[in-house]
Amino acid sequence: MTLSAPDCSIRDGSITETLAGSLIFLKAQKGRRGHVGRSSVRALQEPICCHNRGMNAGTAGAMIFGLAAIVLDCMCSGEALDYSVDPQPHENFFEASFRFVIPDADSRPNTILVFIPGTDGDGRSAVTNATFLSMSNACHAALIGCHFRGEGLGYDDPSGGSGRALDKAISHFAEATNQPQLAQAPILLIGYSQGGMFAFNYICWRPERVKAFAALKAISQKFQPKPTSFCVPGLLVAGQTDEPERVQAIAKAFLSAAGKHSKWAFLLESGVGHELDPKSIGISAALFEAVCREVPADGAVYLNAETGDWEAADSTAAGLCWFPNQDVASTWKALHQPMAVQKLMSMPSRKKLEDFVTVKSEPEEFSCQNDEKQTGVLDLSGSTPGVTIDQVQIAGECFSVSGRSRGTLPMEITTCFSPRDLPWGRIRADIEIDGHLNGQSLEPFIMSVPGMIKGAVTAIPASVYLGVASREDVVDKKIRLKSSQGTVHVIDVKTPPGMTVTLDTKAEDDLEVHIHWIAGPRLGKMSGEILLAFDLPEKGTLKIPVIGLVSN
């Protein structure tokens, strides 16, 4: 048999990335690293106005926390600035990008509101969000939305580099806007999920820099709070129906303040899980505004997290919560599910279905050609009485399940693999099995089922690991293509950015693929696919997954 290849080196292909869930349409000049980028935008809706007496906490709680759609040159606040900070060796993030705005372009703010979203989330759109703009105006604050990308690195520990990045961004924005007072201005920190972990750890690390904080739905304590950390007004919010481990971690952090005359409050938000909801954003806004008033409207008040009742300032209750005024305290009462914080520490962890069920998949790996069909069996068994399967779902192109998928054990579920018009090569499906034990919900059982779409050509190996490389390092790899169906002709090749592929005929029965990768400037995981298109002996495309890591 004969194999042929184009007499050239294939140009870099391209990978288009989309930001799922973004409701922002922003046309901005992309700032170079170490330089500011500018984007002039306006919210389509007017910001919620706040009277001199301040934003009512109930009104703030009712705000809809959704990212407002925005368009170019329609902005009711100041000009937005972008800035990115490169990590230093061994720091705990791959990317740190920030967007800054002064909502009232003619003002000289004396505080900075900083929002950090959940894991690897992009919070820069907060600078065009009506709720955050309103919160900033009420607090006479500039506004920063953060995007930390860690891909598993613990950027919620600010002492590991992420805090340095935030401080550097603040200094840059202060200089770029000719607002030198902002370089050392106190900050209002609001973080959700891993952003909440960052907010809490920041006040343990540098409490003198923080005016108030709100750690929403997650805390992972990296070190003990300093004595002055307890003097920083703060809100620690847990969702009543969130995972027990998250609730316990937040409760533990709050209990560390017992007897310290702290200005912290613990909120067990009734009927809410891990989601970021308007009510917790609203009470955070009310807390921040009250703290930012030069003269509080009324004196500080105290409530007991266990009973929800008012307490005296000298109370020794373990669940004593501090509030800057009665308005914020009343809002807390409306949201809080009274419960002894100590009891939360003994909440049983959610049991896992995998501890009670044995799952076997036959075959262990599916394999067939396009337009063919292969069936298998998912066998579920267990010896613990009271285990009931609620549903079985499979997520993966060309995979499906059928037959009985709920009820008591044992059970057999039919699985099906039927590829159609898909690239040759490896493919995978994820199976999720939900169930309960004696009425108690169990953590789902999740497993992967591999598949192989057979075609005229096979790659050996079927995937490529590029290893760990520094920026601009060069990595070269080789793989072979095998075919038993006569002449094979490659007509097109697509590769990820920074990668080229050259094809060399080495023998009658194989084709050698030379992969040349130059690690790009973006730190973190690089994953993509090499796509080889053929027209002989049959038309089709071979997919070869590639993965590597760029590190400094």
pLDDT score recorded for residue 49? 31
Spatial separation of the C-alpha atoms in residues 242 and 245, rounded to whole Å: 8
- 196 φ, ψ (degrees, to nearest 5): -65, -35
CATH number of 3-14+457-550: 2.60.40.10
pLDDT score recorded for residue 130? 95
pLDDT score recorded for residue 508? 54
Kindly calculate the radius of gyration of the chain based on its CA atoms and give it in whole angstroms: 28
pLDDT score recorded for residue 391? 95
CATH superfamily of 44-298+324-344: Alpha/Beta hydrolase fold, catalytic domain (3.40.50.1820)
pLDDT score recorded for residue 293? 86
pLDDT per residue, tens digit, the chain (552 aa), is 444 443 333 333 322 222 222 222 222 223 333 433 433 333 323 332 333 333 343 333 333 333 333 332 333 457 899 999 999 988 999 999 999 999 988 889 999 999 999 999 999 999 999 999 999 999 999 999 999 999 999 999 999 999 999 999 999 999 999 999 999 999 999 999 999 999 999 999 999 999 999 999 999 999 999 999 999 999 999 999 999 999 999 999 999 999 899 999 999 999 999 999 999 999 999 999 999 986 554 589 999 999 999 998 888 888 999 999 999 999 999 999 999 998 898 888 788 999 999 999 999 999 999 999 999 999 999 999 999 999 999 999 999 999 888 999 999 999 999 999 999 999 999 999 999 999 888 999 999 999 999 999 999 999 999 999 999 999 999 999 988 777 788 999 999 999 999 988 765 567 889 999 999 988 899 999 999 999 977 899 999 999 999 987
**What pTM was estimated for this model as a whole?**
0.75
Q: Which residues of 384-396 are buried (b: 16+ CB within 10 A; e: fewer)?
A: eeebebeebebeb
Give residue for tokens 């060309």: 398
3-state secondary structure of 173: helix
User: Where do the structural domains in the chain lie, given as residue ranges?
Assistant: 3-14+457-550, 44-298+324-344, 353-454
Q: What length does the chain have?
A: 552
pLDDT score recorded for residue 224? 94
Spatial separation of the C-alpha atoms in residues 12 and 433, rounded to whole Å: 41
pLDDT score recorded for residue 510? 73
Spatial separation of the C-alpha atoms in residues 473 and 517, rounded to whole Å: 8
Query: Is domain 353-454 classified as CATH 2.60.40.10?
Result: yes
Asked whether this chain's domains 3-14+457-550 and 44-298+324-344 adopt the same fold, the reply is no
Residue 106, class by beta-carbon neighbours within 10 Å (0-12 exposed, 13-18 middle, 19+ buried)? exposed
